[in-house]
Structure 1
Amino acid sequence: MKATLILESGAVFQGVSIGSPADRVCEMVFNTSMTGYQEILTDPSYAGQGIVMSYPLIGNYGVNHEDNESSRPWAEAFIVRHLARRGSNFRCEGELDAYLKQYDITGIEGVDTRALTRILRSQGTMNGMITCAEHFHVEECLEKIRAYRVAGTVEQVTRKEPQLYPALGEQKLRVALMDYGVKENMIRCLQKRGCQVMVYPAHTPAETILAGGFDGVMLSNGPGDPADNVEIIREVKKLYDSSLPLFAVCLGHQLLALATGAQTRKMRFGHRGGNHPVKDLAAGRAFITSQNHGYVVTAESVDPAVAEVSHVNVNEGSVEGLRYKRPNCFTVQFHPEASPGPMDTEYLFDRFVDSMKGGER
């Protein structure tokens, strides 16, 4: 079945339908990872978005339940150059096309994804539409495309009830993790360091967390514009005003910055992939990181009496981390839990554990 991708700019790409044949309007973003497509699809931070994979061959090792980063894929659409029809791997449990159909994810293959990536890099992230209709009016499609906005996604992806995850091995600490769209490996990284993890829905009152007797609080990754989460930001400020150790990642990093008076802005095309270099200013060295974000904290808005920039993006200097003046509180924009890799910055979980034990690393 033929499929058509229409961008907000009016550009049109022809291809072949994969996954669901349903029409889909969403925000189009690109990811430069060469592997890890299943972890990418199941990252809740992609809610409301269509993912353009710049690497040309996708699906070659199939899918399996162990690689899911959440209970289901959250991406709206998937755009690839070539979809492998048969997964070749001893862990393969099924094919990617069937997986997309199962979860009603609209896709298109046969598109020049590198050309599409160049458009999104030069003109910026924009909305788009995939349709399998034989006949359509581009102008009518553009009206729908331009009216679309990613909104309400944290409420869409967060769990509805608290969930307890036991420590792996001897339990040493108890952590409250706020689920704004958390990835499973973030929980596993805490579990294997001896943490019992209680994961809470995004809108849980801070009073519930503070009364829980936890050793520390972690704020997770998640989708959408951080400034939309006004009520959550109010509760995050209460957590900041407590004495509990705090560690925040991606959306959590942005929410804490907003709660303490800083500002965020939408990036032209964001950072999405597994090869982004970030410099740890205190360590004086660079790390390769996994990233997925379209918003960033503006450095000039950070009050030096409240926090200092701890990490910067090597490519263009944007803020990748903050260390707060308040004891035992630090945040990063990238994903130290990786999945898919690299795992270079897992040391940040060790730093968080140390801060809960009474010291800072």
Structure 2
Amino acid sequence: MFFRLSTTELLTRALKSATSSSRLLATATASSQQRLYSNVLPKAKLIVKDGPSYSGFSFGAEHGVSGEAVFTTSLVGYPESMTDPSYTGQILVFTQPLIGNYGVPDSNMLDEYGIHRYLESPRIQCAGIVVSDYASEYSHWTAVESISEWCTRQGVPAITGVDTRAIVSYLRDQGSSLAKIAVAGHDNGSQTFTDPGKKHLVAEVATKMPYTVNPGQDIQIVVVDCGVKSNIIRCLVSRGATALVVPHNFPIQDIANSVDGIFISNGPGDPTHCSETIFNLQQTMAKSNVPIFGICLGHQLLALAVGAQTVKLKYGNRAHNIPTLDLTTGRCHITSQNHGYAVDADTLPAEFKEYFINLNDRSNEGMYHVDRPIFSTQFHPEAKGGPMDSAFLFDKFLENIREYKAEGAGQAGGAKPTLSVSLGAEAATATASAAGAA
């Protein structure tokens, strides 16, 4: 006797069969990877504090490292992610199965502004990386070395041949966790677990001296460097601005009325460690109506400066495809994100309104002042890598600056002093590349 199956039942059976086949294929692939790696690479482990260990093989620097294990679901852009200062102190787990297939570009290549053309800083910033499978062979017209050669040269541990699906499942359930990479023969696993959240990481990655990019322009913007990405500076100067990049704790309130805008950058770690930056922002907003724009950590610092609070997310948002809703227009934008903390929108003062929200977890993604040219976003409108949906926010910032200048820039009168004069002896102008080396 024959029984006719419904379309739904047929689809269900086909899906189960495909899922089973894909699992078998993944298991077989993993086993073949293990055999291949065991012949050429030293053994290594990712050890989670008070959690599981994941055995694999080292393809980077052969020493141990400790940090906070986090994951990114970005499909591309590993050179940009690994050189993003916001990843300082973190062991980065890639969910994309294959990493390294298009190699690594020249880290010394600069663009017409003297900014790193392909990378977000001069070196790898994350403490280590974890991938399912790495490509020993690569192909891309910009590539000069493999990801293995790059990690080895820069002293960054890297582990492959592990089940990153299991790691990510654990981190989603338990939250971002302290972990360490141990390499056989070079590290016996006795290294202590280091919590980067207890460190003032911004002070480690920010420039120590001011420097100028694209000098001589009519619009002059101070960039407070908390770990700024190269493409953020590029997005400002390519729109016709001069960027004076200053240390995170620079007293911007002393020059606020002598510049056209203030930008607060991204950066690593707990925003509450940046007490000097928060104080300087408070003083600046009390003394000046200068336009202000903050991104990522800059958004959190601006929120703290106006009396709001921040919270640590369970496992953060790190991806290139996160939908955010613009509450002023009702439009959705696909955004690039990299953060473990967020602003508690319920604590925003009355003069600030929520600008964007995350459509995945409903967390805050931005704020704006109801009367003044001050706004900020949690996501990265400059992308690199990621979609450029929200790059218009840099245009909005420049429009705010032009309106501010047209109104007299809030000055008591007289010509605006040049940026270098307004900063006095501290304002030694340097090239962007020299600053990156600092």
TM-score (norm 1): 0.94
Matched residue, 1:7: 48
Shift of 1:326: 4.4
Shift of 1:136: 7.8
Matched residue, 1:24: 65
Which residue identity is paired with 1:281? L
Identity %: 40
1:283 aligns with 2:329: yes
Q: Is the 8 A contact 1:25 1:148 kept in 2?
A: no
Matched residue, 1:243: 289
Query: Among residues 310, 315, 319, which one is paired with 2:360 in the alignment?
Result: 315
Q: Is the 8 A contact 1:27 1:150 kept in 2?
A: no
Shift of 1:94: 1.0
Higher helix share: 2
Query: Among residues 168, 171, 177, which one is paired with 1:126 in the alignment?
Result: 177
1:92 aligns with 2:133: no
Consecutive unaligned residues of structure 2, counting only runs of 5 or more, are 1-41, 107-116, 406-438
2: CA distance between counterparts of 1:192 and 1:91? Answer: 22
Which residue identity is paired with 1:72? R
Shift of 1:205: 1.1
1:151 aligns with 2:199: yes
2: CA distance between counterparts of 1:58 and 1:136? Answer: 25
Shift of 1:172: 3.7
Number of equivalent positions: 353
Residues 93-143 of structure 1: CA deviation (Å, up to 9, x unaligned): 1111111111111110011112111111111000101001359887x56xx
Secondary structure at the counterpart of residue 69 of structure 1: coil
Secondary structure at the counterpart of residue 304 of structure 2: helix
Matched residue, 1:293: 339
| Equivalent residues in 2 for 1:166-315, closer than 5 Å | 166=214, 171-210=217-256, 213-241=258-286, 242-303=288-349, 305-315=350-360
Shift of 1:18: 1.6
2: CA distance between counterparts of 1:55 and 1:306? Answer: 42
| Equivalent residues in 2 for 1:10-159, closer than 5 Å | 10-65=51-106, 66-133=117-184, 144-145=192-193, 149-159=197-207
1:349 aligns with 2:394: yes
RMSD between superposed Cα atoms in Å: 1.8
2: CA distance between counterparts of 1:343 and 1:260? Answer: 29
2: CA distance between counterparts of 1:296 and 1:254? Answer: 7
1: CA distance between counterparts of 2:380 and 2:81? Answer: 12
Matched residue, 1:163: 211
Q: Is the 8 A contact 2:382 2:388 kept in 1?
A: yes
Q: Is the 8 A contact 2:65 2:181 kept in 1?
A: yes
Q: Is the 8 A contact 2:249 2:277 kept in 1?
A: yes
TM-score (norm 2): 0.78
1:329 aligns with 2:363: no
Q: Is the 8 A contact 2:84 2:120 kept in 1?
A: yes
Q: Is the 8 A contact 1:8 1:146 kept in 2?
A: no
2: CA distance between counterparts of 1:215 and 1:95? Answer: 43
1: CA distance between counterparts of 2:386 and 2:73? Answer: 13
2: CA distance between counterparts of 1:40 and 1:137? Answer: 29
Shift of 1:300: 1.2
Secondary structure at the counterpart of residue 120 of structure 2: coil
Shift of 1:150: 4.6
Structure 2 vs 1, CA of residues 150 and 79 (structure 1 numbering), >3 Å: closer, same or farther?
farther
Larger radius of gyration: 2
2: CA distance between counterparts of 1:209 and 1:249? Answer: 21
Secondary structure at the counterpart of residue 357 of structure 1: helix
Shift of 1:147: 6.1
Secondary structure at the counterpart of residue 193 of structure 2: helix
Secondary structure at the counterpart of residue 190 of structure 1: helix
Higher strand share: 1
Shift of 1:214: 1.1
2: CA distance between counterparts of 1:289 and 1:93? Answer: 29
Q: Is the 8 A contact 1:176 1:209 kept in 2?
A: no
Larger mean Cα displacement after TM superposition, 331-340 or 148-157? 148-157
Shift of 1:324: 1.4
Secondary structure at the counterpart of residue 202 of structure 2: helix
2: CA distance between counterparts of 1:164 and 1:359? Answer: 22
2: CA distance between counterparts of 1:251 and 1:135? Answer: 36
Residues 7-46 of structure 1: CA deviation (Å, up to 9, x unaligned): 0132010000021111101000000001100000100000
Residues 229-274 of structure 1: CA deviation (Å, up to 9, x unaligned): 1122111112222210000000010001011110001000000010
Secondary structure at the counterpart of residue 319 of structure 1: coil
1: CA distance between counterparts of 2:256 and 2:185? Answer: 57
Structure 2 vs 1, CA of residues 41 and 150 (structure 1 numbering), >3 Å: closer, same or farther?
farther
Structure 2 vs 1, CA of residues 265 and 82 (structure 1 numbering), >3 Å: closer, same or farther?
same
2: CA distance between counterparts of 1:202 and 1:230? Answer: 10
Matched residue, 2:425: none
Secondary structure at the counterpart of residue 81 of structure 2: helix
Shift of 1:348: 0.2
Q: Is the 8 A contact 2:365 2:377 kept in 1?
A: yes
2: CA distance between counterparts of 1:346 and 1:123? Answer: 34
2: CA distance between counterparts of 1:239 and 1:22? Answer: 45
Secondary structure at the counterpart of residue 255 of structure 2: helix
Which residue identity is paired with 2:105? N
